[in-house]
């Protein structure tokens, strides 16, 4: 019975691999690409943060932690993932090096963009933090960084949004986004984002926020031009 399960698992992995090859993103030179520029806004005011009393490691984490479910400035929403759905080819990945840090008892950044490959894990706190991922497509990890071991890495292969938490500090939550192609962005403090060198064409653009959910809109990119788009939660 156990052997059958192993065979089924291997067949499933093989099918995913073949499907992955069939729909793989192709890197090619983008001639006269366009830019998608936009903002994600919130109608109304964001809810106040939850105030959480800190039980342990107060010397580093403080006496209380503020947990924001929705954050942003000037009416915008921060930490929204923006991505083009289904784009077959375009520029190569140009994300900055993906590092998920633990700083002053928070994951920094709250949501990190990673291309398939290696993601660095780095703690700058002198206390232990646990990095516990809840992934489906990629192997999950549950490791601890501490004063003696402050760095590690995580291999990510398949596109997905991975929940991350620290089991030692209940308020510590974050996300790793393994991108399928380079046309992904995370909104800044005022909810703005930009996708550059997009091959001309019409696309579905999706925005995703951990608390507010997702929305999609159609967007048309013209050669050498800027297309402006706005989303409101």
Residues found near Cu ion in the complex (CB under 5 A): 129, 166, 168-169, 172
As measured in angstroms, the least distance from the Cβ of 212 to Cu ion is 25
Q: Which is nearer to Cu ion, 127 or 210 (CB)?
A: 127
Contact at 8 Å (CB) between 90 and 112?
A: no
What does the alpha-carbon distance between residue 131 and residue 129 come to, in Å, rounded to a whole number?
7
The residue among 68 and 93 lying less far from Cu ion, judged by its C-beta, is 68
Least distance (Å) from Cu ion to the CB of residue 136?
Answer: 23
Residue 179's CB is within 10 A of a number of other CB atoms, namely: 21
Please state the closest distance from residue 133 (CB atom) to Cu ion, in A: 14
* Nearer CB in complex with Cu ion: 82/166: 166
Shortest distance (Å) from residue 57 CB to Cu ion:
8
Q: Cβ 172 to Cu ion, closest distance in Å?
A: 5
Q: How far is the CB of 105 from Cu ion (least distance, A)?
A: 6
Question: Which is it for strands 26-27 and 89-90: parallel, antiparallel or unpaired?
Answer: parallel
Residues 79/111, Cβ–Cβ less than 8 Å: yes
Please state, in angstroms and rounded to a whole number, the distance separating the CA atoms of residues 168 and 136.
Answer: 23
Q: How far is CA 226 from CA 1, 133, 136, in A?
A: 58, 37, 36
User: Rounded distance, CA 77 to CA 50, Å?
Assistant: 17
The smaller minimum CB distance to Cu ion, of residues 75 and 128, is found at 128
- In terms of CB distance, is 74 or 149 closer to Cu ion? 149
Q: Which is nearer to Cu ion, 129 or 181 (CB)?
A: 129
C-beta nearest to Cu ion: residue: 166
DSSP string, 148-214: S--EEEEEE-S-EEEEEE-TTSTT-EEEEEE-SSS-EEE--TTSEEEEEEEPSEEEEEEEEETTTEE
DSSP state of 72: -
The 10 Å Cβ neighbour count of residue 70 is 19
| CB 109, min distance to Cu ion, A | 16
Q: CB-wise, 41 or 110, nearer to Cu ion?
A: 110
């Amino acid at each position: 019975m156990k052997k059958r399960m192993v065979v089924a698992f291997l067949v499933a992995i093989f099918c995913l691999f073949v499907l992955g090859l069939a729909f793989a993103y192709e890197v090619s030179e983008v001639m006269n690409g366009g830019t998608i520029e936009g903002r994600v806004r919130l109608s109304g005011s964001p809810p106040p943060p939850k105030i959480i009393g800190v039980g342990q490691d107060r010397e580093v984490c403080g006496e209380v932690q503020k947990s924001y479910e929705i954050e942003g400035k000037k009416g915008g929403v921060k930490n929204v993932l923006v991505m083009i759905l289904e784009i077959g080819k375009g520029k190569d990945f140009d994300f900055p090096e993906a590092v998920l840090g633990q700083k002053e008892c928070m994951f920094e950044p709250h949501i990190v963009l990673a291309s398939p490959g290696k993601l660095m894990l780095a703690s700058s706190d002198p206390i232990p933090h646990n990095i516990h991922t809840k992934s489906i497509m990629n192997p999950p990890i549950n490791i601890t960084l501490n004063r003696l071991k402050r760095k590690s890495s995580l291999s990510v292969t398949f596109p997905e949004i991975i929940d991350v938490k620290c089991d030692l500090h209940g308020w510590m939550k974050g996300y790793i986004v393994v991108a399928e192609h380079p046309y992904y962005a995370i909104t800044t403090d005022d909810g703005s984002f930009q996708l550059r060198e997009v091959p001309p064409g019409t696309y579905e653009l999706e925005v995703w926020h951990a608390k507010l959910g997702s929305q999609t809109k159609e967007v048309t990119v013209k050669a050498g031009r800027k297309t402006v788009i706005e989303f409101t939660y």
